[in-house]
């Protein structure tokens, strides 16, 4: 999605068709991509490093995210000033290529199924404790 948005910006700049509605659509899609990527990235950390190194990986990932938020606009400005709007957006799209190529190569982790039967028993016990026929402690 990020690459598609960068391509959309580049094509809009190249053809001179950039408008406010198009910019709103591109920014909305970019925001949705960020909302989808953030949790997925956090979930993949455990697959990559395992439980033993998970805390360190989360900290390192948070640091990288903060640095990206801090220095991303600087890199984007340099690309736009150095290559122009169209070239800068195409270069921005190329930045995502290593990630797009590397994700299919990651291993798939087979997790054991969640034991839902035990969870249901606990819920039933809790439901019996707070059933409508019993007086609550607050009244």
pLDDT along the chain (139 residues), means of 10: 89 91 93 87 79 86 91 90 90 86 70 57 61 54
User: What is the per-residue pLDDT for 70?
Assistant: 94
Cβ contacts of 1 within 8 Å, gap of 6 or more: 29, 30, 32, 33, 36, 37
Kindly list the domain boundaries of the chain, sorted by start residue.
Answer: 2-108
Element (H, E) at 23: helix 20-49
pTM score, whole prediction: 0.62
């Amino acid at each position: 999605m990020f690459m598609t948005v960068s391509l959309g910006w580049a094509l809009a700049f190249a053809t001179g068709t950039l408008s406010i509605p198009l910019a709103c659509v591109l920014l909305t899609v970019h925001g949705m991509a960020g909302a989808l990527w953030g949790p997925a990235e956090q979930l993949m950390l455990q697959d990559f490093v395992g439980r033993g190194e998970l805390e360190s990986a989360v900290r390192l990932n948070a640091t990288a995210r903060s640095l990206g938020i801090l220095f991303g606009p600087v890199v984007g400005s340099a690309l736009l000033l150095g290559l122009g709007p169209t070239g800068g957006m195409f270069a921005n799209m190329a930045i995502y290529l290593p990630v797009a190529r590397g994700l299919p190569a990651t291993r798939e982790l087979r997790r054991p199924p969640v034991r839902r039967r035990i969870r249901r028993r606990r819920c039933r016990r809790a439901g019996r404790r707070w059933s409508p026929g019993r007086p609550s402690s607050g009244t």
